[in-house]
Each structure stands twice: as C-alpha cells, then as structure tokens.
Amino acid sequence: MTTIRALVLDDNPTDRLLLSAYLKEIFILADPAENSKVAEDLLKSESYNILFVDLEMPGYDGYSFIKKIRSQGHNQPIVITSGKRTLKDVKEGIQVGATDYIVKPIDRSVFDSKVKSLLSGQPLNQDWYEYPIPEQFENSPAQLSLNTRLLSVGEVGLSFTSSVALVPGTQVTLTSELMIQNQVGQLMVRVESCQQQGALHILRGSFVGLTETHRRQIRLLCKSLFPKSA
C-alpha cells in the first residue's frame, strides 16, 4: 500500500501535534516543520501528497512560503490552517496559491472530509443536511464571488479567467486592483462567451450599466495600455 505523506508547517508545537495526530487517524503520515526554512528543506528531499501551512509565523510567513513553492512548481494541494479568520485573510491565502483554508480551532469532521476530498480529487462528501430558506428571503438576491484574473480590457468589455464555467448571459460583478487604481469600483459584466482552456475558463464579457465617469476612466486606461493604437 502506498503511504500518503503530508507536510505540516506550523510554528506552534500543539498545532503540529494535533494536525499530525488527526492525519495519522486517516492513515496519513505527517512530517512536522516548525518554520518555512525547515519545510523548504524537507520539500527538496521528500515528496508530499498534501501540505498544511500556517500563516502567522516569525520571519518568513505562510503567504510567502506558498507563493515561493508554487513558483517552484509544487502543485500538490495546499491547505492553510490558521487562526487568522477574516475574509481578507482567506482571500489572500487563496490568491497566493492555497487550495483550501481551514480556520483554527479545527473542526475534525470538516478537516477529515476536506483532506479526503482533496487527495482523491472527488467532490466533498455532500451528506450534510440543508434547511429550506425562510419564505421572506426566498426571492432576495445573493451574490456569488469568484476568484478571477483579468486578461485584457477594452472600452466595451473585458476578458477574464474563471475556475468555473459561466453560461453566456450570466451577469457577474467584478472587482479588480487594476480597476480600483483607475477609479473604477465594481463593474457589472455580462458574460458573452466562455471557452475552456485546460483547467480554466476564458470568459469575455461586456460592461453592463457603466456610468459615464467609469467609461471615461476605462477609456483612459485603454489609452494608457495601448498608447500607439489609441
């Protein structure tokens, strides 16, 4: 039987111990590392199926560690296990390359099912119970946020990536650092086309309800990006 191996990077010895014990219970052998340097050395000499990374560590933190090893081509699942619990922390963790994020203290059943799902490539066990939405909220809107990267921008629309396919006609709200820097806040975009390219989908969308001010800002942005053709 092949041994499944995990690397547990955490500066807190009680966290390293707890995670290693939980992993042992689901037949995963864990190597603990108390700092990013030790973890990097282990990654050079050993091979791991999954990595667990804490964020807040003295010196070289978890974000930098994940960024660095992703750039070196390590593509196994990386689960952030952290006591940092704001949405900003979670977003940043996923942005630097983590596959999932589990907030400490760790809920054992969530941990087990996530790890099993990540290692098998199968969807998460969906046997949880769901309760019907109260009547007064049935038709109230909810928003879906996807991590995306902008690929190109024009005066009428833009292209961006998505990890999931979106049906043409779907309207999405898009926020990006580039647009914020150019005094354009959230943009409403209507998906015009969606093409799969490897693990990603390339979407082309047109702006919906763009204000004159924002249109002017986008025009200026386009001019600055393509000064000769403008």
Partner 1 sequence: MKKLLDPEILESLMSVTSPSGLSVWQEISQIFISDTPKHLEKLITAHQSGDHRETGRIAHFLKSSCANVGAISVAEVLNELEMLCQAPCRFEDRDKFVLQIAEGVLQINKQINALNTGPKPGGGM
Question: Cβ 104 to partner 1, closest distance in Å?
Answer: 6
Token couple for 32: 């603990």
Nearest CB to partner 1, comparing residues 17 and 194:
17
Nearest CB to partner 1, comparing residues 32 and 205:
32
What lies within 8 Å, CB to CB, of 2 at 6+ separation is none
d(Cα 219, Cα 156) in Å, to the nearest integer?
Answer: 9
Nearest CB to partner 1, comparing residues 14 and 229:
14
Bridge partner residues of 18 (DSSP)? none
Assign 3-class secondary structure to the chain: CCCEEEEEECCCHHHHHHHHHHHHHCCEEEEEECCHHHHHHHHHHCCCCEEEECCCCCCCCHHHHHHHHHHCCCCCCEEEEECCCCHHHHHHHHHHCCCEEEECCCCHHHHHHHHHHHHHCCCCCCCCCCCCCCHHHCCCCCCCCCCCCEEEECCCEEEEEECCCCCCCCEEEECCHHHHHCCCCCEEEEEEEEEEECCEEEEEEEEECCCHHHHHHHHHHHHHHCCCCC
Nearest CB to partner 1, comparing residues 24 and 216:
24
d(Cα 194, Cα 204) in Å, to the nearest integer?
Answer: 7
Question: Cβ 83 to partner 1, closest distance in Å?
Answer: 5
Positions touching partner 1 (CB under 8 A) are 11-15, 17-18, 20-22, 24-25, 30, 56, 58, 83-85, 104-105, 108
Nearest CB to partner 1, comparing residues 81 and 189:
81
Nearest CB to partner 1, comparing residues 105 and 168:
105
Nearest CB to partner 1, comparing residues 30 and 221:
30
Question: Cβ 26 to partner 1, closest distance in Å?
Answer: 11
